[in-house]
Structure 1
């Protein structure tokens, strides 16, 4: 081995930093907060006091300084880009991008304009979110999402919302959680037949994306698809010389 090794970081080999909400529900494979979800190393940082209920149902009120500080800590450790594990944090996109000095992608919702550009005329992107009633115009506007985008939520389901947002228990019936996602997706395309693709807002929904794709027969995008793209720019693939 030859050459000069360059320093300046505390941790090496993990380009992406993930800001985590403080929660105790199970993070199954595919969940953003499960380290085995990612095919590359990541750095996690829990933002203390940022519960899902406070972020989703209370608009993340007063939490911006905590997220900025946590993101700056991850950058100091060695992160070259920052993301978060709640789509509702689109509210902080502009402020965090300005404060941390590296690329920032706060929300899966940021994919909506990209996906829309791929669809044929007359088709639109629809969104499945954990809480339709809490997803405001401010959240959509901050992520560049048209305000008339069709949206469906999981508030009326039997498992997903009450475990993740209400924290009614620490265990989760995965089958029931999946059914909540499938039913929300079906309601979305039934009410809005013009929907040609779905973006999942919630970062806990990727474990169910394949099942939803099979059920509705439309492309489904989530935080995993977005971060795979995001990370690809941080570590472009090296191809063998011809």
Structure 2
């Protein structure tokens, strides 16, 4: 074989070792049956890039959000390991309350892991002018504990508002009282929580949405409050950008 042909074969070699290619991000999903509308993390059309999903059977939103995921860690570790074996180069989850498992999942799979949208709080705080702070809207303020916050690097005195008293969002997503979702009522629950948050603390300069089902309402909240809104979509698009940096053309 000539040197030319030998060089061509080397440069065109495709590397193996994965089961699935072209989707470096793996998402651990809770086991639920409510509608996942565009913008929801569990709707594959939300993402501008391919993703891999794995549903952790038995990990209901109620168990994870209201019972701190007790007994579910081995199931999440196994599912994360399965995603990596499938081809994922990084792992995220579809519930911000899984910040409690951040350290364990990361140690187990030994790839980058971002379990919770709450991990953005310190970054966003660094962007705000002096005297302003980040606030959090969560699906369940009553059960978002100091342990959840600490695991995500969030100060314990961060202002928080929840949707537990709303008419739709909490009832459908956590209590599973029905399988359909009134989108207008769900949007209103998010807006009400945002208004309550800023009315209690006028120093809030930006908001992070803990729940991965809240991004469909982020634009409405931004328009209503006039504040920057961050969520799992903003975090994971950033996260993925490091996995597949954009290749820029040379020259001008």
TM-score (norm 2): 0.95
For 1:192 and 1:67, the matched residues in 2 are separated by 36
User: What CA distance in whole angstroms lies between the structure 2 residues aligned with 1:101 and 1:110?
Assistant: 18
Select the structure of larger CA radius of gyration: 2
Q: The residue matched to 1:48 in structure 2 has which SS?
A: coil
Alpha-carbon distance in 1 for matches of 2:16, 2:197 = 50
Match of 1:173 in 2: 182
**TM alignment of 1:130-141, pairs within 5 A:** 130-141=139-150
Distance in 2 of aligned mates of 1:5 and 1:172: 45
Q: In the aligned structure 2, how far is the partner of 1:235 from the partner of 1:209?
A: 25
Shift of 1:193: 0.3
After TM superposition, give the deviation of residue 240 of structure 1 in Å. 1.0
- Corresponding position: 1:162 with 2:179: no
Aligned runs of 1:56-205 on 2, under 5 Å?
56-205=65-214
Q: Distance in 2 between matches of 1:59 and 1:101?
A: 23
| Structure 1 residue matching 2:207: 3-state secondary structure | strand
Mapped to 2, the partners of 1:231 and 1:207 lie a distance apart of 20
Deviation at 1:100, TM superposition (A): 0.4
1:89 aligned counterpart, secondary structure: helix
Provide the C-alpha distance between the structure 2 equivalents of 1:140 and 1:176, rounded to a whole number of angstroms.
28
Q: Which aligned pairs between 1:227-242 and structure 2 lie closer than 5 A?
A: 227-242=236-251
Aligned residues: 242
Q: Runs ≥4 in structure 1, deviation > 3 angstroms?
A: none
Deviations 1:107-142 (A, max 9, x none): 000000000000000000000000000100000000
Q: Supply the RMSD in Å over aligned alpha carbons.
A: 0.8
SS at match of 1:92: helix
Q: CA deviation at 1:241?
A: 1.0
Counterparts of 2:34 and 2:120 in 1: how far apart (Å)? 26
The residue correspondences of 1:204-223 to structure 2 (distance < 5 A) are 204-223=213-232
Please give the per-residue CA displacement for 1:55-80, whole angstroms capped at 9, x wherever unaligned: 00001001111001000000000000
Unmatched segments (≥5 aa) in structure 2: 1-7
Distance 1:121 1:241 in 2: 40
